Amino acid sequence: MADPFAPGLLARLPEPPRRVVVVRASRIGDFLCATPALRALRAALPAAEITVIGLPFNRDLAERSPHVDRFVPFPGFPGIAEQFFDARTATACFRRMQAEAFDLALQMHGSGVYANPFTLLLGARHTTGFVRPGDGPGRLDAALPLPNRGHEIDRVLALPRFLGAPDRGRQVEFPLTPADRAEAAALLATGRPPWIALHPGARDASRRWPEARFAAVGSALRARWGGTLVVVGDAETQPAAAAIARASGGSVVDLTGRTSLPVLGAILARCALLLTGDSGPAHIAYALGTPSVTIFGDTDPVRWGPPADGPHAVLDGRGAIASVTAEEVFAAACGVVHHGQEYRHSSAG
């Protein structure tokens, strides 16, 4: 019996897996950080049908990925807080998944304390995933201690690399369609470029920078560059958007609660800059190359920040996001937009 901590499981299997399921039941930014790992898995198993189990609002991202064939909404599971758990719904999901007779299941969700039991209940012939450093493999056929350092992209990529998948790079993917771009253009038609995107929302209060500072920086940038402020986010961000519009005056387009996730990406692709806390839109900007300033509170910019070689700036509040001043954000914004113009020019050759 092979050592479950030995690398190269894919080469040890008697035949390439034809039906594969991946568990990544995490939020938008987390899901985007897994796209390089999905790309590597697809390169290793080009003929396989790859199913992803994820949070429902990531369906659009998964279904338009060239590396994913099918998406199944995560039904919830005890200990995994991202989705409400209903035993009847989960049981029905397990029955459907077991009937699929997957050849290989991969747990890419996290340390595996709760996600590995969930993944094992899918009933795949072989199951692999992360475990906490120091833990045994449990019932996994191949187990990798979850790296406790580095960027989330590299942490997740460690699993397909451990299995023997080829390296296909670290670039995060956010595919856009012509329809996405057309809808974005229509939504922005009431303003004029350059568009300056502000995303004041966040799930956790510790990630929300004060609305008045968003308004102050946005107004200062608009006075410097001209153009239009564009406030983005879900419907829960609408009160913050209204406060920013009142405080900043001038030209503001409020798109909170009005876009799908892909159209939000197309809007950010047209913007000169995104100001945001550590959030899903920040990762979309990283994927699309839109210059950004991300303000961190109690999350780790080493793990969740932008790529070092792009037009992005990070301001770290070190546990206190309100300690980051409007003056610091304004200076960072001016720096990344200048850098971004040079970056895009050099990329175009």
Say yes or no to pLDDT of 79 above 60.
yes
The pLDDT, as a whole number, for residue 1 is 60
Amino acid at 159: L
For residue 344, name the pLDDT band (cuts at 50, 70, 90): very low
Q: Indicate left, alpha or beta for 8 from its phi (over 0: left) and psi (-120 to 50: alpha).
A: left
Q: Mind listing the pLDDT tens digit for each residue in 217-251?
A: 999 999 999 999 999 999 999 999 999 999 998 78
For residue 345, name the pLDDT band (cuts at 50, 70, 90): very low
Average pLDDT of the segment spanning 294-315: 93
The pLDDT, as a whole number, for residue 348 is 28
Average pLDDT of the segment spanning 40-59: 98
Distance of CA 183 to the CA centre of its chain: 22
For residue 167, the surrounding DSSP H or E stretch is none
Amino acid at 18: R
CB 58 within 8 A of CB 35: no
Domains of the chain (ranges; CATH) run 9-163 (3.40.50.2000), 178-347 (3.40.50.2000)
Percent with pLDDT over 70 in the chain: 97
Q: Mind listing the pLDDT tens digit for each residue in 158-171?
A: 999 999 999 999 99
For residue 82, name the pLDDT band (cuts at 50, 70, 90): confident
The pLDDT, as a whole number, for residue 339 is 52
Rounded-to-integer distance, Cα 274 and Cα 291, Å: 6
**Measuring CA to CA, which residue among 112, 131, 135, 126 is closest to residue 11?**
126
DSSP state of 64: T
Rounded-to-integer distance, Cα 234 and Cα 260, Å: 9
Q: Tell me whether residue 196 is exposed, middle or buried, using C-beta atoms within 10 angstroms of its C-beta: 0 to 12, 13 to 18, 19 or more.
A: buried
Torsion of CA 29, 315, 319, 236, to 10 degrees: -50
Q: Is 117 helix (H, G, I), strand (E, B) or coil?
A: helix
Cis preceding-peptide flag for 194 (omega within 30 of 0): yes
Tokens at 5, concatenated: 């901590």
DSSP state of 9: H
The pLDDT, as a whole number, for residue 217 is 98
DSSP track, 273-324? EEEEESSHHHHHHHHHT--EEEEESSS-HHHHS--TTSSEEEEE-TT-GGGS
Which residue is listed with tokens 């030209």?
Answer: 251
Rounded-to-integer distance, Cα 315 and Cα 317, Å: 7
Rounded-to-integer distance, Cα 60 and Cα 73, Å: 11
